[in-house]
Amino acid sequence: MKGVDELQRLLKKSKRPRALTGAGVSAESGIPTFRGPGGLWRNFRPQDLATPEAFARDPKLVWEWYSFRREIIAQAKPNAGHTFLALLENEKPDFWLITQNVDGLHQDAGSRRVLELHGNIWRLRCTACPKYVEDLRVPLATLPPKCGACGAVMRPAVVWFGEALPEGTFAKSWELAQTADLFLVIGTSGAVEPAASLAREAKKNGAVVVEINPEASALTGVADLSIKGESGEILSRV
Ligand code: OAD
């Protein structure tokens, strides 16, 4: 397959490859995406479930939604796409993975140089103080717990609509995009900023951009090479 051969060639000579992943990379693990057919945002309204206002208004509803997603993710295993990216880290000492996913499957596959732009569903953070805790319970208790340090209510440590990305994580991702020589865009619609701008920034600074996605996305026009297909399937051939 032409795209696969070309990607192999690009990877071989790349010294500073990066990958930006989105929900599509976990689709073959059985985790629904947000915007595609069967996507979560086709059936649920983000403003009811994924904003600080929604959590303030109805913490129980938001908590149940995260519990529901954690149950799906807890049953999922990394697929060939996750595994490929974990192996790439061994081959390329300056490879970095930037993900919008909160499912932790990249780490389960063995990736260590991972930047989570949108947080992690297995962590909670306090709404009032800087406390973070890991919480692997499935299902969750019916109401969010109280912070052990200050007693305020805890929330999922994920980024909601209208919230800023973790500052250090985004700054590091931006720098990595600027210094990339190859930038893989895998399984993302490119609909959410500022994550999508990382691909544009990489391209602006001279990186070759390669997209892997069965559908056209908002970033297809940025890509020098667009490989149409499912990422697990494609990357297992690479
Ligand atoms: P989307 O649901 O917007 O896009 C998923 C993309 O994956 C689509 O372009 C699909 O065509 C593609 N896709 C589907 N199956 C695939 C497969 N097997 N292999 C490769 N690609 C596949 O998900 P994201 O782009 O990740 O934000 O969405 C970005 C953010 O929007 C998420 O991080 C989340 C959401 O609201 C927050 O939670 C803050």
First to last CA, the chain: 10
Instruction: Indicate the burial class of 10 (C-beta count within 10 angstroms; 0-12, 13-18, 19 or more).
Output: middle
Residue 97 near residue 127 (C-beta atoms within 8 A):
no
Residue 100 Cα: closest atom of ligand 1:
33
pLDDT of residue 64: 95
CB of 230 closer than 6 A to ligand 1? yes
pLDDT in the model for residue 164: 95
Closest residue CA from atom 2 of ligand 1 = 34
| pLDDT at residue 36 in the model | 84
What is the rounded CA–CA span in Å between residue 137 and residue 39?
24
| Ligand 1 pocket, residue 156 CB under 6 Å | no
- Cβ–ligand 1 distance for 28 under 6 Å, the answer yes
Sketch out the chain's domains with CATH numbers.
1-31+77-117+165-238 (3.40.50.1220), 34-75+119-158 (3.30.1600.10)
- Active-site residue identified among 70, 82, 106, 118: 118
pLDDT given at position 205: 98
The total of other beta-carbon atoms located within 10 Å of residue 52's CB is 14
- What is the per-residue pLDDT for 207? 98
pLDDT digit string (tens) for the chain, length 238 residues: 779 999 999 999 999 999 999 999 999 999 999 998 889 998 889 999 999 999 999 999 999 999 999 999 999 999 999 999 999 999 999 999 999 999 999 999 999 999 999 999 999 999 999 999 999 999 988 899 999 999 999 999 999 999 999 989 999 999 999 999 999 999 999 999 999 999 999 999 999 999 999 999 999 999 999 999 999 999 999 9
pLDDT at residue number 141: 87
pTM as predicted: 0.97
118 in catalytic set: yes
Place of tokens 């919008």: 100
Which among 105, 101, 103, 102 is positioned nearest to 85, based on CA atoms? 105
- Residue 152 CA to its chain's centroid (Å): 28
What's the confidence (pLDDT) of residue 176? 98
Q: State the pLDDT at residue 156.
A: 97
- Please name the helix (run of DSSP H) or strand (run of DSSP E) that holds residue 121, with its range, or none: strand 119-126
